[in-house]
């Protein structure tokens, strides 16, 4: 299987009076269609690693190659363009734009990318919402939806531009058990169906159980021996 | 367009705040317009009075520079020294005035009248008063001078019909209790004297003028002043007063006589008016600047409230530039709407002011507030409003563009 994301010697050090090291020396590879979970204790640097892999943040040292493109030295605009084209994000909180309808929220990345005409954007958005079982909510505002529904809309938005990799930061962390199971199921099934790679930070062992691979992060380093309590 | 869509949504989702900043811009633009219209109106009014009470251009029998000596004309580039020089006596008056007047008449957009100006003493019932005597051709004078409109009794035709007639000002008439038909005695500089009949009385509102200016027929003045067939002044009225300087220069280039435009004669007053305009525009612009703080305030609040949205947009793939556009657009929307509404309200204010009649303290007549409906101040008001809105929006927009999604994500999760 081809490698879609390769990270080498990643370090992230926050400057300050006392510099804080968040990530020290992480190397990893993600293959196409692979479902990877990042686990670890609180404050171990899981989210920081995800932000680096998602090109939201720039490593202090080390390189990240996305789809064969080495991003070292890329400026903010170039990284943003890569995120737009190749990555999709789902966060712990749904992070939908509250003034826009569900459909508009899903269309947002497509409109920015401009690859499809408006009618096709809506068509694509509707088909994603249908797959995620929230098509009936398309014209509602996010505030009118339940937590699980919002998170499914967020997944639809993350998939809107047909990304290579879906990055999720505790996607079920803020949901009750039923909604959580539902979102977990959808993420697993849909991404396999669509052949997307997934990198998900999670605390949820059930979530991790369905993953192809588990990466444990402890104190900013990969630790294969760590076990969740 | 997504940026416009988001901008519009931001504004409409906090209607009250948007309305307050909008009202600020509307009032700013309206006041800018109303005040500048009034100030420019009064300026135009002032200039009109200034221009109307004197000719646009006066050609007199003087020269701008002393006449060159023949020796200097012969060797213009060499050093010529002439000792004991005394210019030769000049006969006063414009030489060949009929020919020169014809030349001036051939220029487009103007009317000219020949005048012989001299001084005389008016005697009546044992009192005397020094006066300025103008010999005129009444037919020529019409449309050149405003004297006909200022006549309160009699007419220019009465002067034309009566070679022994004189037109005097209301001040002089009151001082000597003269009426139409009164006979006065005039002693001119040359010593000749003649009794004349008052055929018309004018009132300009300028006391000095009303007390000492008189008009007689040109022929009569030439006889009285002992200068047959002479005039010493052309007074010229232009269709467009602003061309005065240009036309004056052309006239001066045609002959050698000095042609003074109203703009040159009143340069000091025009300078004062210019300074006044600068002051006025700075003050009304300050109003708009203050109004733009409302926009700055609103947009800064939106940026603060919307940090999460900004983080989402950036993580989804919106560039810093896209984010800036959103907020600059919000400023532009408020600025454009505010300008349009402000221009409408301002025009209403101007209409209202134009309809107000005021009796100035100590005045006798009701006066309308002079309002100038010039297009340039509409453009200036709208342009300046947009500019300050853009500036007010730029700062929050730049801040929004610089927000780092990770900082916000860390804070939220």
Is A179 a domain residue? yes
Q: What pLDDT was estimated at residue A1?
A: 64
Whether the per-residue pLDDT at B148 is higher than 90: the answer is no
Choose the mutation target among B1, B315, B330 for the interface with A, i.e. most A CBs under 10 Å.
Answer: B315
Q: How confident is the model at residue B169 (pLDDT cuts 50, 70, 90)?
A: very high
Mean pLDDT, residues A201-210:
84
B242-271: buried (b, 16+ CB within 10 Å) or exposed (e) per residue?
Answer: ebbbebbeebbeebebbbbbbbebbeeebe
Structural domain of A162: 34-58+72-222
Within B106-206, where are the H helices?
138-141, 147-150, 156-161, 170-175
Q: Which residue has the tokens 């000749």?
A: B192
Instruction: Kindly report the length of chain A.
Output: 229
Cβ–Cβ under 8 Å, residues A11 and A25: yes
Q: What part of B 266-325 touches A (C-beta under 8 Å)?
A: 308-309, 311-322
Q: Per the CB < 8 Å rule, is B317 touching A112?
A: yes
Q: Per the CB < 8 Å rule, is B312 touching A95?
A: yes
Of B13, B319, B413, nearest to A169 by CB-CB distance is B413
Q: What pLDDT was estimated at residue B346?
A: 92
Q: Per the CB < 8 Å rule, is B410 touching A47?
A: yes
Q: List CB contacts of A215: < 8 A, sequence separation 6 or more.
A: A28, A36, A37, A38, A39, A222
Average pLDDT, chain B: 85
Work out the percent of chain B whose per-residue pLDDT is above 70: 97
DSSP per residue, B39-53? HHHHHHHHHHHHHHT
Q: Domain ranges in chain B?
A: 2-51+269-412, 113-228
Domain containing residue A50: CATH number: 3.40.50.300
Mean pLDDT, residues B263-286:
85
Q: How confident is the model at residue A94 (pLDDT cuts 50, 70, 90)?
A: low
Average pLDDT, chain A: 87
Whether the per-residue pLDDT at B413 is higher than 50: the answer is no
Q: How confident is the model at residue B114 (pLDDT cuts 50, 70, 90)?
A: very high
Mean pLDDT, residues A85-107:
87
Mean pLDDT, residues B184-207:
86
Shortest Cα–Cα distance, A217 to chain B (Å)? 17
Whether the per-residue pLDDT at B91 is higher than 70: the answer is no
Whether the per-residue pLDDT at B101 is higher than 60: the answer is yes
Is A229 a domain residue? no
Q: What pLDDT was estimated at residue B201?
A: 93
User: How many Cα atoms are found within 13 Å in the side-chain-facing hemisphere of B342?
Assistant: 34
Whether the per-residue pLDDT at B166 is higher than 90: the answer is yes
Q: Per the CB < 8 Å rule, is B2 touching A93?
A: no
Query: B406 CB near a chain A CB, below 8 Å?
Result: yes
The sign of the dihedral angle between the CA atoms of B352, B354, B359, B360 is positive
Cβ–Cβ under 8 Å, residues A155 and A187: yes
Of A76, A91, A113, nearest to B409 by CB-CB distance is A91
Q: How many domains does chain A have?
A: 1
Whether the per-residue pLDDT at A107 is higher than 80: the answer is yes
Is A82 a domain residue? yes
Is A218 a domain residue? yes
pLDDT in tens, B336-356: 999 999 999 999 999 998 888
What is d(CA B210, CA A128) in angstroms, rounded to the nearest whole number?
92
Instruction: For residue B204, give both structure tokens.
Output: 């300009």
Whether the per-residue pLDDT at A55 is higher than 50: the answer is yes
ipTM: 0.88
Mean pLDDT, residues A122-128:
91
Mean pLDDT, residues B12-17:
85
Q: What pLDDT was estimated at residue B412?
A: 57
CA distances from B41 to A199, B44, B206, B384 (A): 71, 5, 21, 20
Q: Which range has the worst mean pLDDT, A148-162, B16-30, B290-304?
A: B290-304
């Amino acid at each position: 299987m081809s490698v879609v994301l390769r990270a080498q010697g990643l370090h992230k050090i926050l400057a300050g009076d006392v510099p804080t090291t968040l990530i020290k020396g992480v190397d990893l590879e993600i293959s196409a269609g692979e479902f990877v979970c990042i686990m670890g204790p609180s404050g171990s640097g899981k989210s920081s690693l995800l932000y680096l892999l998602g090109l939201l943040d720039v490593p202090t040292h080390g390189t990240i190659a996305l789809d064969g493109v080495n991003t070292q030295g890329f400026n903010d605009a170039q990284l943003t363009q890569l995120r737009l084209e190749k990555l999709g994000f789902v966060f712990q909180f749904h992070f939908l734009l509250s003034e826009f309808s569900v459909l508009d929220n899903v269309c947002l990345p497509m409109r920015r990318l401009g690859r499809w005409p408006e009618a096709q954007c809506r068509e694509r958005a509707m088909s994603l919402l249908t797959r995620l079982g929230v098509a009936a909510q398309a014209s509602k505002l996010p505030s009118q939806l339940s937590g699980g529904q919002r998170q499914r809309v967020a997944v639809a938005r993350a998939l809107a531009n047909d990304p290579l990799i879906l990055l999720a930061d505790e996607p079920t962390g803020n949901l009750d058990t039923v909604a959580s199971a539902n979102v977990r199921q959808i993420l697993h099934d849909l991404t396999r169906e669509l052949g997307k790679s997934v990198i998900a930070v999670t605390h949820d062992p059930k979530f991790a159980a369905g993953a192809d691979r588990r990466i444990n992060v402890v104190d900013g380093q990969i630790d294969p021996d760590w076990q969740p309590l | 367009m997504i940026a416009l869509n988001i901008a519009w949504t931001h504004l409409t989702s906090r209607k009250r705040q948007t309305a307050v900043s909008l009202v600020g811009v509307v009032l700013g633009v309206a006041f800018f317009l109303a005040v500048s219209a009034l100030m420019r109106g009064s300026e135009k009014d002032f200039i009109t009075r200034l221009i109307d009470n004197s000719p646009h251009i006066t050609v007199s029998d003087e020269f701008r520079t002393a006449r060159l000596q023949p020796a200097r004309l012969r060797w213009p580039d060499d050093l010529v020294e002439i000792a004991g020089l005394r210019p030769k006596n000049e006969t006063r008056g414009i030489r060949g005035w009929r020919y020169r007047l014809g030349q001036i008449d051939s220029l487009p957009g103007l009317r000219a009248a020949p005048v012989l100006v001299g001084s005389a003493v008016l005697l009546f019932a044992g009192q005397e008063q020094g006066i300025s005597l103008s010999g005129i051709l009444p037919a020529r004078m019409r449309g050149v001078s405003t004297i006909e409109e200022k006549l309160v009794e009699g007419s220019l035709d009465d002067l034309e019909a009566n070679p022994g007639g004189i037109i005097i000002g209301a001040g002089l008439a009151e001082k000597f209790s003269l009426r139409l038909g009164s006979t006065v005695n005039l002693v001119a500089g040359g010593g000749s004297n003649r009794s004349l009949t008052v055929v018309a009385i004018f009132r300009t509102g300028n006391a000095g003028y009303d007390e000492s200016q008189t008009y007689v027929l040109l022929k009569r003045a030439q006889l009285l002043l002992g200068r047959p067939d002479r005039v010493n002044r052309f007074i010229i009225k232009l269709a467009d007063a602003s061309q005065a300087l240009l036309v004056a220069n052309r006239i001066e280039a045609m002959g050698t006589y000095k042609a003074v435009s109203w703009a040159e004669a009143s340069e000091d007053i025009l300078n004062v008016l210019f300074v006044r305009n600068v002051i006025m525009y700075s003050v009304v612009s300050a109003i708009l600047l203050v109004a733009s703080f409302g926009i700055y305030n609103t947009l800064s609040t939106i940026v603060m409230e919307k940090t999460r949205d900004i983080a989402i947009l950036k993580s989804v793939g919106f560039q810093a530039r896209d984010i800036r556009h959103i907020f600059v657009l919000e400023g532009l929307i408020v600025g454009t709407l505010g300008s349009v509404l402000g221009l409408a309200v301002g025009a209403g204010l101007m209409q209202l002011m134009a309809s107000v009649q005021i009796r100035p303290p100590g005045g006798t007549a009701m006066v309308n507030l002079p309002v100038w409906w010039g297009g340039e101040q509409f453009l200036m008001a709208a342009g300046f409003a947009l500019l300050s809105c853009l500036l007010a929006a730029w700062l929050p927009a730049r801040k929004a563009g610089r927000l780092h999604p990770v900082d916000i994500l860390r804070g939220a999760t």
